[in-house]
Structure 1
Amino acid sequence: MITLIAAIGENNELGKDNQLIWHLPDDFKRFKLITTGHYIVMGRKTFESFPKPLPNRTHVIITRQKKYAPENCIVVNSISDAIAICPKNEDIFIIGGGEIYKQSIDIADKLELTRVHHSFEADAFFPEVDLKNWELISEEYHPKDEKHKFDFTFLTYTRKR
């Protein structure tokens, strides 16, 4: 199963200057819980936004750079190559950025979204989701609190077949 996992603002904002534009510890916990032990597919800029590779996950990085070879990562040059290199019977998580989401939305089986209930200035966006093709199977609202500056909702969608 191919799952796109992302935190997005009210207008599908993902980030600005290759950084997240909010800090939501519960979203980080959910991301870790869902993706640990799996293949995670990302663009080079998303990978480079991490201080170091994420533990207990296999990193598949998409780039056009010929000699790009971070240690203990798989490097490919297309979304199709990234999917092909992952085990066929395991869950694959596409984790960004905007261009990678755009290239993979049509092949995704599932969306794990954190909708941040605020509008932000951004330069990277999640693609528009046509909800007539998706079924909402889980929704969990979280109000802002001392650790979370914004209200947010965890949303899980599966593709209608």
Structure 2
Amino acid sequence: MPRPKLSLIVAMSENRVIGRDNSLPWHLRSDLKMFKAITQFKPIIMGSNTWDSLPRKPLPGRLNLVCSRDPKFEAEGAVVCETLFEAMEIAREHAADDGADEVVVIGGANIYAQTIGKADRLYVTLVHTTLDGDAHFPEIDPAVWTETKSEFVEKGDGDDFDFTLKVYERNR
């Protein structure tokens, strides 16, 4: 089996905001369903702030890997890794053993910044709003990434805004 792809999944506003005060600045029930469908049965990698922000821990049906430089950090039900490199190695090994075709990075801003240069695919929920926040997703450089899918989703029950689900593949 080929090496599992490294993918990033993110919901961001039109001005690239992904968070405010360690939480999502919106509620999108429709997007959460897509997030679950994309990440289910695949190893996921996150930073400790993202772990802390999860309403349910660990996310079920996925190996949860949490990066923290704090040697005392604990995440019950997850694997705590001191480095992103360690998390990537464990995730890829686990994915290969389970037949998963990708490892998915779910945040936050620092982890995204460290992994976007290594990623093969981006799943981007572009939330159709502009707002203030303290965490941002890196720029998506069109010289590096090609948009391969774009699906507009009208605001539904449990959604604060309309959004577009986009998939980008790294140019080879």
Q: State the TM bucket, normalised to the shorter chain.
A: over 0.9
Match of 2:165 among 154, 158, 161: 154
Match of 1:141 among 117, 142, 152: 152
Aligned to 1:21: 25
1:86 and 2:91 matched? yes
Calculate the TM-score normalised by the size of structure 1. 0.95
Match of 1:31 among 29, 35, 55: 35
1:109 and 2:113 matched? no
Q: What SS class does the counterpart of residue 127 from structure 1 fall into?
A: coil
Dislocated runs of 4+, deviation >6 Å: none
CA contact (8 A) 2:11 2:124 kept: yes
The range that moved more, 144-153 or 31-40, is: 144-153
Gaps of 5+ in 1: none
Aligned to 2:12: 8
Offset, 1:77: 1.8
Gaps of 5+ in 2: none
Question: Deviations 1:68-97 (Å, cap 9, x if unpaired)?
Answer: 232221111222111111234341000000
Q: What SS class does the counterpart of residue 131 from structure 1 fall into?
A: coil
Cα distance between partner residues in 1 of 2:52 and 2:8: 19
- Paired-residue identity, %: 40
Calculate the TM-score normalised by the size of structure 2. 0.89
Cα distance between partner residues in 2 of 1:149 and 1:8: 13
Aligned residues between the structures:
161
Which residue type is aligned with residue 56 of structure 1? G
Offset, 1:103: 0.5
Offset, 1:99: 0.6
Cα distance between partner residues in 2 of 1:76 and 1:144: 37
Offset, 1:146: 4.3
Offset, 1:17: 0.4
CA RMSD of aligned residues (A): 1.2
